[in-house]
A = this chain, B = another copy of it.
Amino acid sequence: MFSLAVDAMGGDGGPDVVVAGLALAADRHRGARVLLIGDEKRLRPILARHPKAAAICTVRHAPTAISMDMKPTAALRVRDSSLRMVMDAVAAGEAAGVVSAGNSGAMLALAKIVVKTLPGIARPAMAAISPSMKGDVVMLDLGANVACDTRNLVEFAVMGEAFAKAVLGLPAPSIGLLNVGAEEVKGDERLRQAAEMLRDSPLASQFHGFVEGHDITAGTTDVVVTDGFTGNVALKTGEGAMKMASGLFRQVFTSSMAGRLAYLLVRPALMRMKDWLDPRRYNGAVFVGLNGVVVKSHGGTDAQGFASAVDVAMDMVTHQFNDSIRERLAHMTTLTTSRPKMEAERQAAL
């Protein structure tokens, strides 16, 4: 069995970036076996230039590729695309997970139909890691579901907790539910019900309650749960603010002779900071809640970014991410099904 099926054709950089990324990843995951799917003619010469990647890869030819702007519905109709074939490999039990830098919408649609949703989960979500002042934070949903109900949010909490365990290696990650205030009365009914369910669940001791926007970078909790609309806006707003801050600091160091001198003095510290914030380090959004590990690399990333996405996928495969979700869900189901029963008993007792 292959550890991962990798789509060689996705992303702006195509197979060159993917294979170079696999060469970097090969050093970090010695036991990994990769099924590399794409245009064989294009792949062979690239692999010849990257012997480390070639050593861990088995190539499978895919006649077509899904373009970055193809609509998900159209992508579903193409049976012989590299993206479809990596999903098929997971569905057939040939590989434990998928990595692609391709079209996200097509990827989610194919994953749902081919890899399928984990039993007990209503809807998969998109999760990723982002930096905070207290260490890395897992955020989900980042856009797979524009609208979410109470059940979705509770399931996102379960999946986010398992993700933080597998990828951040935390023994008991804390969970926050994103809201407009920390008080119990804040937000809508959907959020208040989700909070109540989590307080009554096996995750109760890890559930911190409501958190606010500024708690994401403050690192108040290890996992931040929200709907796909809010999560997508929050992620991009935070990235935008960090970009503005970097631009302002660049000005400080470039707008005067004194600034350029100061830059020379603090260059090593600035480089360390830049590395820490490097978006490539946080590359690899994960579709959680599927019958397999499905990792989306940013389309515009380079080899190092792609290797980070492979790291995330390997961590999830190694730590049997889905087993940990299944186990939690078993307990949660007992809880949710026992509730109406208790309610019925209470009614009968009156």
- The answer to whether A233 has its CB under 8 Å from any CB of chain B is yes
Interface CB pairs A-B, < 8 A, 27: A131-B244, A132-B244, A143-B180, A180-B228, A212-B232, A212-B236, A213-B235, A213-B236, A213-B238, A214-B236, A216-B240, A217-B243, A217-B244, A230-B230, A234-B234, A238-B238, A241-B245, A245-B245, A251-B273, A256-B266, A256-B269, A258-B265, A259-B266, A261-B265, A262-B262, A262-B263, A265-B265
- The answer to whether A45 has its CB under 8 Å from any CB of chain B is no
Q: How large is the interface on A (under 10, 10 to 19, 20 to 34, 35 or more residues)?
A: 35 or more
| A273/B244 in contact, CB under 8 A | no
| A237/B252 in contact, CB under 8 A | no
Is the contact region of chain A dominated by helix, strand, or loop, or is it mixed? helix
Q: CA of A230 to CA of B227 in the docked complex: distance in angstroms?
A: 10
- The answer to whether A94 has its CB under 8 Å from any CB of chain B is no
The A192-245 residues at the B interface (CB cut-off 8 A) are 212-218, 226, 228-230, 232-245
| B244/A246 in contact, CB under 8 A | no
- The answer to whether A2 has its CB under 8 Å from any CB of chain B is no
Given A147-B188, A248-B277; 13 other pairs, CB 8 A cutoff: A133-B247, A213-B232, A213-B238, A213-B240, A214-B239, A214-B240, A214-B243, A218-B243, A226-B233, A229-B230, A237-B237, A241-B241, A249-B249
Q: Tell whether A146 pairs with B187 under 8 Å between CB atoms, given A233-B212, A238-B240.
A: yes
Closest 3 CB pairs of A and B: A213-B236, A245-B245, A214-B240
Q: CA of A259 to CA of B235 in the docked complex: distance in angstroms?
A: 31
Choice from B247, B248, B259, B269 contacting A252 with Cβ under 8 Å:
B269
- The answer to whether A178 has its CB under 8 Å from any CB of chain B is yes
* Number of copies of this kind of chain in the complex: 2
- The answer to whether A270 has its CB under 8 Å from any CB of chain B is yes
Which chain B positions have C-beta within 8 A of A347? none
Which chain B positions have C-beta within 8 A of A337? none
Which chain B positions have C-beta within 8 A of A133? 244, 247
| A233/B178 in contact, CB under 8 A | yes
Which chain B positions have C-beta within 8 A of A249? 245, 249, 273
Q: Tell whether A259 pairs with B265 under 8 Å between CB atoms, given A212-B236, A240-B238.
A: yes
Q: CA of A258 to CA of B268 in the docked complex: distance in angstroms?
A: 10
| A262/B273 in contact, CB under 8 A | no
- The answer to whether A334 has its CB under 8 Å from any CB of chain B is no
Choice from B212, B226, B234, B265 contacting A213 with Cβ under 8 Å:
B234
The A163-183 residues at the B interface (CB cut-off 8 A) are 178, 180
| B180/A232 in contact, CB under 8 A | yes
Which chain B positions have C-beta within 8 A of A212? 232-233, 236
| B233/A217 in contact, CB under 8 A | no
